[in-house]
Amino acid sequence: MKNGAQRFGLRARVSAAFAVGAALLSAALAVVTFVLVDHYLLARQLQSAAHETFADARVVHRDLLQGGPVLGEVLSSLTAPEGTSAYLYQDGVWYSGALAFGYGPHISRPQGVPRALVKLVEAGQPARQRVMVQDRPAVTVGVPLNSVHADFFEVYSLEQLSRTLELLGWVLLGCAAATSAGGLVLGRWASGRLVRPLKDVADVAAAIAGGQLERRLPSGGGRELALLSASFNEMVGALEERIKRDARFASDVSHELRSPLTTIQAGIEVLQSTEAGLPADGRRALGLLAAEVARFSAMVQDLLEMSRYDAGAASLDLEELALDELVSSTVAAYTAGAVPVLVAPGARGLWVQADRRRLQRVLVNLLDNASAHAGGAVAVRVDRIGGPGATGEAEVVVEDAGPGVAPSERAAIFERFYRGAAAGRRGANTGTGLGLSLVAEHVKAHGGTVEVADRPGGGARFVVRLPISPPAPSRDARNRPAPPQRTPATPAAAGSTLSTTPDQAVKGAPALTSPHPLQDSALTGNRPPP
Amino acid sequence: MTSVLLIEDDAHIRASLGMLLRRDGYRVSEAASGEEGLDTFASESPDIVLVDLLLPGMDGFEVTRELRRSSNVPVIVVSARTGTDDIVLGLEAGADDYLTKPVMPHELPARIRALVRRAQLSAERGTTLCLGDLEIQPQAGLVKKAGTPVSLTRTELRLLCELASQPGWVLSRPQLLERVWGYDYFGDTRLVDVHIGRLRSKVEEDPSNPEVIVTVRGIGYKLVPPP
């Protein structure tokens, strides 16, 4: 079960904590502010209400003593602010200065003057009480006018105040919300800064795992981070050193084997020319020796090539190659025309940026693999997949009609020295065990992929995909390779190419003047005779 | 009888390769160091020199450069390292061809045969060709540029003759490898590139901006006929 730490990232959690913290803090601040302001404003309002009531009460008291005008007129003459009503209670009768109430006298107690307050004032005690008048807040102040046996009340609306407080409340809420959002942003920023070094570590670790052993973390960024990057870099350095040492060891061993191998091979060659004088057993032993030394030699070459990849020292000798021509010529030259090359119409004149030698090794190793495990390749196809321009991929397919490769073995056969279920079935094993691994390495170095699938109708098909390079300029007729001038080409070489382009044969028809391929194609020593 | 000078510090390799060459009918002189090799070369003037690149003291590159200073003798360098710059450096020092260890027993005689044949072929065939201010006399092994003789190795001469035999036509690298070096399709095309570079330095006005031997991108080289 996943816990919260995994469900939400560190960044999300830090951001959330910041936001919640900011929200709590700002809410508390807002509440305190609101309460203080509310108290202060209300107190002031009540105080001024009391002051005014007393002032008005003095006016009313004086008028009553002088027996002046009618009570209602006295009350309405009071210069009361908006929303204020004045009432006089005398002998159980109410008088008012408010039009809405009518000037009186009235029996009924006016709204806004609670009974409790009246009782308190009647007892000779000035008092005030907060009330609701028509659902609006107000404060009523009562003053006893003892000498005239009357009580004076004024009802002050607190609506202005409550509106102000309401506005303040909204403003404070808005501020709290903004602060929370600010906290979230701050949290994201801070956690981003905090997490960035972790992301750097992850990126660099991924790059190192991907083979870029020279990548390191930048130093600096605070004491704690410097410590982290220093120990990380130290670890990677030790790892790199070790990987390089392993690769160098493989390379050194292979190098050291080459001089004695030269001597052994030359010795065997000289012995073979005196073979006729040897007894039958000796001849047989010599034959076995020669075969195994040839295989050993090829293995040393392959190991060297592999160790170059392992040490990251393999550099491609890139040139622009017409893939269809290269495949046709290589297959024709290597199999003496026994394997047809089918070039799809879309794949004619397909150019790739490639290392000629390595691409040839890819083909040769695939053909060798087909010979060793499936009785030889039956066809090689060149095709183009994907869109036009330089966006597509070139596809080279080597097909055989053998037993095929079981799905469970399809990834494993590209591993070094892999011996599959079919191993040993075909008599003596003549391969180096590195052929397909080198195919994979060569293709990967070219930015391509290789995989094995079933061939329709039985057998295996090895599919190599390579990126296409943009078209090279100047490919007019004059710039085609010259036709062979003399007659060195083996008749099979050009003839076997089942390309439908008539000009295909003109393009660099291969020739086999020497029966021995360059030793760089290391497997040639084991190749079955064509 | 063709004579071969073998400069190699490993006594076993020297002995076994010497045995192999003698069996094939070559006269073989052996030298264990670069200095000794140059002395032997001066006294015996062999037809072909085979030199290991990794020698104690004077290394194979220096030996090759020293040989080139005074002679056009065909030189094959032997490298213990494939796929490195060693080979290109050896070729740039003036070697005609290279072998890598372990030397395949059938490969060594084949390389030597190809070199010998190269010498014979250029002597046999061809009439004098004139291309602009370049005059090629294959039968005399002579090339003149604006009347001045140019010193070419046999390999360079053969390369020039091949390009000149079909002026204006592009020759692909594999074609040149096969025609000049006698390699089959699986030869190393760096041989062609390095030798083209050396040829250009001798026949071009401005080797970095060639006008006679032109690269055709993605295909190979062609000799541009003069207007």
User: Of all residues in chain B, what percent carry a pLDDT higher than 90?
Assistant: 36
Looking at the partner chain, which of B20, B23, B102 has a beta carbon nearest the beta carbon of A261? B102
B211 shares a domain with B109:
no
Of residues A504 and A31, which shows the higher confidence score?
A31
Looking at the partner chain, which of B105, B169, B188 has a beta carbon nearest the beta carbon of A520? B188
- Give the per-residue pLDDT at A496: 36
**Could you give the number of structural domains in chain B?**
2
Per-residue pLDDT at B51 exceeds 90: yes
pLDDT digits (tens, 9 = 90+) for A3-34: 545 667 888 888 889 889 999 999 999 999 99
Per-residue pLDDT at B39 exceeds 50: yes
Domains of chain A, residue spans:
10-163, 223-309, 316-422+432-526
Rounded to whole angstroms, the Cα distance separating B13 from A368 reads 30
Architecture of domain A223-309: Orthogonal Bundle (1.10)
Identify the band that residue B133 occupies on the pLDDT scale cut at 50, 70 and 90: confident
User: Of all residues in chain B, what percent carry a pLDDT higher than 70?
Assistant: 94
B97 shares a domain with B32:
yes
- Give the per-residue pLDDT at A451: 93
The single-letter code of the amino acid at A91 is D
User: Of all residues in chain A, what percent carry a pLDDT higher than 70?
Assistant: 79
- Give the per-residue pLDDT at A171: 93
> Tokens representing B149?
């003789």
Longest dimension (CA), chain B: 57
Angle (CA) A260-A309-A429 rounded to 5° is 55
Domain that holds residue B33: 3-118
Average pLDDT over residues A291-311: 87
B74 shares a domain with B13:
yes
B132 shares a domain with B217:
yes
Query: Domain containing B30 — which CATH number?
Result: 3.40.50.2300
Q: Which of A18-22, A103-107, A469-473, B132-136 has the lowest mean pLDDT?
A: A469-473
Q: Which of A316-325, A369-378, A424-433, B109-118 has the lowest mean pLDDT?
A: A424-433
Judge contact between B46 and B30, C-beta under 8 A.
no
- Give the per-residue pLDDT at A489: 34
Per-residue pLDDT at A463 exceeds 90: yes
B162 shares a domain with B80:
no
Instruction: Give me the total of CB pairs closer than 8 Å, taking one residue from chain A and one from chain B.
Output: 170
Cross-chain Cβ contact A510/B182 below 8 Å? no
Alpha carbon A292 to chain centroid, angstroms: 51
DSSP B18-38: HHHHHHTT-EEEEESSHHHHH
B199 shares a domain with B140:
yes
Rounded to whole angstroms, the Cα distance separating A357 from A376 reads 22
The domain over range A316-422+432-526 is classified in CATH as 3.40.309.10: no
B31 shares a domain with B15:
yes
B34 shares a domain with B9:
yes
Of residues A75 and A456, which shows the higher confidence score?
A456
B158 shares a domain with B111:
no
- Give the per-residue pLDDT at A327: 93
B97 shares a domain with B39:
yes
Per-residue pLDDT at A2 exceeds 50: no
Per-residue pLDDT at B164 exceeds 70: yes
DSSP A423-452: TTTTSS--S-S-HHHHHHHHHHHTT-EEEE
- Give the per-residue pLDDT at A198: 80
Per-residue pLDDT at A389 exceeds 70: no
The single-letter code of the amino acid at B96 is D
A330 vs B contacts (CB less than 8 Å)? 185-186
Helix, strand or coil, per DSSP, at residue A61: helix
**Which has the closest alpha carbon to B134: B155, B150, B153, B152?**
B150
Rounded to whole angstroms, the Cα distance separating A48 from A401 reads 108
CB proximity A292 to B under 8 Å: no
Identify the band that residue A436 occupies on the pLDDT scale cut at 50, 70 and 90: very high
Restricting to B residues 104-133, those with a Cβ less than 8 Å away from any Cβ of A are 104-107, 110, 114
Average pLDDT, chain A: 79
Best CATH choice for the domain A10-163 from the list 3.20.140.10, 3.40.50.620, 3.30.450.20, 3.40.50.300: 3.30.450.20
Average pLDDT over residues A435-461: 92
Cross-chain Cβ contact B82/A260 below 8 Å? no
ipTM of the complex: 0.83
B110 shares a domain with B30:
yes
B191 shares a domain with B144:
yes
